[in-house]
Amino acid sequence: MPGQDGSREAVARALDALGTGAFLTDPRGCIVGVNRRGEQLLARSASSLLGQDAHDLLHRNSRGESVPRAQCRLRECILAGRTEQGADEWFERGDGTLLPVAWLATPCDIDVRPAITLVLFHSAGLAERPREQLLCGGRLSELQRLALLAETTTLLTSTLDINEALHRLIGLLLPRLADWAVIDLISEEDEVLRFAVAHAEGGTVVFREDLQGPMPPVPLESSMPLSRALRGVASSRIGPETYQGRSDTGIAVEQRRLFEETGMHSAVVVPIHSLRDVDVLGAITLGRADQPERYTSTDVALVEDIARRAGLSLENARLYQRQRKVAETMQRHLLPHLPRVSGLGMTVRYLPAPDASQVGGDWYDAFTLTDGTTALAIGDVVGHDLDAAAGMAQLRNMLRAYALSQQEPPSKIVEWLDHAILHVAEVSMATLIFARMAVNEAGQCELSWTNAGHPPPLLVSREGLAQYLTEGHGILLGVAPDQVRPDATAQLPPGATLLLYTDGLIESPGHSLDEGLNRLRRHAAALAHRPLEAFTDQLLARARPPDNDDDVALLAVRVPSSCV
């Protein structure tokens, strides 16, 4: 039909105007249109894409293997005709390489039958893109506006880093809607920061650091546009004439300076609200200096939509940072300080889980016993919540009490502990290594320990020989408290490093435990000659799996050259 042919041509033109990869699918998931940027990112021509099933042709896992259809969220939302987004996925390019992508799919409400779905995607691992010049905001079509809002959502929700999210937003808006973009933020202490002043120059975004920085406080009564926006009152269309004449506030002075420095002749300023409009998080100002068109009321509505998405991203990022700070502070306050032992090097590290809400049960301890020997412990309470953290503290304190009050081998101490947690501690199951380090009759450093289901200690000589201490292994705590636990003993060579760690250092979803243990052993051996602090930091940087989603506790002990 002629009408539908015209609609498809309009859609094709709009797709090519987008600055991100895009393709259209029919209700079965077959590709019916693709833009030039999509062809470039996928290294595939339009002719090789059209008519192909998008999932079968493109979707792969991180190893390049086909993903089962039942596990494809993109295909599922296309078939269901709903809007959804995803990240940390891979498309296979025409040359066989993998492209890490974030995507957003949304049904297109346009006059084309059968109904089609718009899929926007950008590379999550490659520097995007020389951005094509788009039509000015005043002439954006409805599809272009929809695509811009969809791309805004995709970019902002694919990161929880505030700086990264806002820089992505600026790169998206320039030069599509403006020559200049300004973002002002209000901190949780009600201080105003001019976070960014950016200009589109020759296809790149240039930041004016001299115009950025702290701003005067928000006046309560000022009727000037930015002051009103930062109070959440209203959006405004403004020009340089708005701030001519006598300035009533410090913010107005800064705004007049902004217009003088940028040469903007037309601008729009809108507030950034929190999700429920309870708080004002800041304001976005977009301005035109080179583009001749003045902003319209339609542009204001579009920028308000963008600001709403920015507000959601900001609120999520701030909540994430707040949770992360609380989790880290709580965890670190629960972990003990190390004792000072003459001649013995000792250091610890604790890295929280990437998910800020996941307060873990990983812990370490070291203390001096009544007979002068040094006790070492490391453990992991099952779970990732506040109960696990509370149980960890109880377990550590009970272990200390038994070890300090009883002159018994490590196995006996842990047997008592295993019985006690059934009645006292908020712990269902846990792993643990408890050890004593002492000098034997021959004047050698000796380690005696018992292992309750925990990854084995790693002993690294100063010559770089690394071996796991696999003896003394028993079942984890909370399973069979009546079972007799074994003890093990090993001599620690002068200058050797003993490493106690939790499973977050060796486990990752895509690899076996043996692979993790081998990786840790190789890196520890290579770093044996480093000073203890450098050894520990470098080991964490090299051995921790990149896809680790667990917290990590680590206790490293450097044996003195002489234990006498």
pLDDT (mean) for 227-239: 90
Which pLDDT score, from 0 to 100, does residue 1 have? Answer: 39
Per residue in 101-150, pLDDT tens? Answer: 888 888 875 555 567 888 888 875 533 433 333 334 445 666 677 777 77
Domain boundaries, the chain: 1-133, 160-327, 335-558
Residue 480 has pLDDT above 60, yes or no: yes
In the structure encoding, which two tokens stand for residue 344, read together? 């013995």
Pick the CATH number of 1-133 from 3.30.470.20, 3.40.50.2300, 3.30.450.20, 1.20.970.10: 3.30.450.20
Q: Which of 271, 294, 273, 275 is nearest to 284 (CA)?
A: 271
Structure tokens at 316: 């999520």
Q: In what order do the strands lie in the sheet with 21-25?
A: 31-34, 21-25, 117-123, 98-107, 84-92, 59-60
What single-letter DSSP state applies at residue 508? B
Which residues, 6+ apart, have CB-to-CB distance to 295 below 8 Å?
Answer: 137, 138, 237, 266, 267, 268, 286, 288
pLDDT, greater one: 522 or 223: 522
Amino acid at 79: L
d(CA 244, CA 252): 9
> How many CB atoms lie under 10 A from the CB of residue 470?
10
Residue 555 and residue 500 in contact, taking contact as beta carbons nearer than 8 Å: yes
The Cα–Cα gap between 329 and 322 comes to 11
Residue 219 has what pLDDT? Answer: 86
And the tokens for 63?
Answer: 């190893």
CA 500 to CA 366: how far, in whole Å?
Answer: 11
- State the average pLDDT for the chain: 83
| Model pLDDT, residue 98 | 84
The yes-or-no answer to whether 160-327 and 335-558 have a common fold is no
Query: Mean pLDDT, to the nearest integer, of 161-188?
Result: 87
| 335-558 homologous superfamily | PPM-type phosphatase domain (3.60.40.10)
Instruction: List the CATH code of the domain at 160-327.
Output: 3.30.450.40
And the tokens for 330? 């709580």
pLDDT band at 428 (very low <50, low <70, confident <90, very high): confident
What one-character-per-residue DSSP string does 66-104 give?
A: BPPGGG-HHHHHHHHT--EEEEEEEEE-TTS-EEEEEEE
Six token digits for residue 122: 């950008």
Looking at the predicted structure, is the pLDDT value of residue 435 above 80?
yes
DSSP state of 384: S
**Does the pLDDT value for residue 197 go beyond 80?**
yes
Q: What pLDDT sits at residue 351?
A: 81
Distance CA 20, CA 134 (A): 12
pTM of the model: 0.51
Name beta bridge partners: 432. 379, 452
Report the first-to-last Cα separation within the chain, whole angstroms.
Answer: 95
Q: For residue 5, what pLDDT is reported?
A: 52
- Note whether 177 and 171 are within 8 A (CB): no
At 272-321, the pLDDT tens digits run 988 766 789 999 999 999 888 899 888 898 899 888 888 888 888 777 77
Please state, in angstroms and rounded to a whole number, the distance separating the CA atoms of residues 306 and 176.
13
- Beta strand pairing call for 445-452 and 458-460: unpaired
DSSP tally for the chain: helices H, then strands E: 14, 24
Q: Residues 491-505: pLDDT tens digits? A: 999 999 999 999 989
Taking a C-beta distance cutoff of 8 angstroms, is the pair 283, 308 a contact?
no
Model pLDDT for residues 365-417, shown as the tens digit of each residue: 999 999 889 999 999 887 655 566 667 778 888 999 999 998 899 999 999 99
